[in-house]
A and B are shown apart, each in its own frame.
Chain A
Amino acid sequence: MENPHDMKISRRNLLKAGAASATAMGTAPLSAARAAGAGQREAATVTLHVNGKAHEMALDLRTTLLDALREHLRLTGTKKGCDHGQCGACTVLLEGRRVNACLTLAVMHDGQQISTIEGLGTPGALHPLQAAFVRHDGYQCGYCTPGQICSAVGMLDEAARGMPSHATASLSERPLLTPEEIRERMSGNICRCGAYANILDAIEEVAEGKA
């Protein structure tokens, strides 16, 4: 396994080898190799822990975390908007922190914990932010909503840990979640329907409840 370029094996055997090496060697140094199949496809065996459940998948190395969630695990709550990190529709929580699932490869997160909108609440027991978005009508078409809510979960945690933002007046004091702070901290999530006023109200309500 020292040099991935030397491996000339079938795709079927490659996947078996990947599983075996993962058991024997943990994640280091390699969980991916080049197969000699048609079109020189490059693949890897990846285990993602999504919403508390482990999923082992054979993935093309080019698979983003977003595509792994949507196309392989059929967790389509996480949306693909721009696919370039500009809109935030794909926001998920990676090891508890909000990230753009479109801007990272699934293979880079072997063994890590991911929470998506499907893991936050159920129709019968909504997450407080989901309930607040419903109450305040924090959407029109709803396409950006899962990303908005996952982002808001991460944002409230960042604020609770005292992380500053561009809107924070003094870096020596704990930031307070004023409307200006919430707007700035949510700027990575775009709503083309323009439901920002109600999104802000929903998040503010939950933030105040936590304060």
Chain B
Amino acid sequence: MSNNKTLLPDVNALIIEKLATYPENVRELAFQAIRLSETYPEVAVAEQLQSVLRKLSRQREVETNDTA
């Protein structure tokens, strides 16, 4: 069964719009957290976010090194 509880069709767009003023990596992590939270409970979301964080952190490191 797909999750049908989202009655606000553009709620994610609304939140992304509000997150627009934050740095890209913050935006990405926040969006992933919301997306996962629509399906999984808190603990599971936290576990999955650890790997997202690692990925974002490494990306950032590569970008910083490239810039350097």
Partners in one complex: no
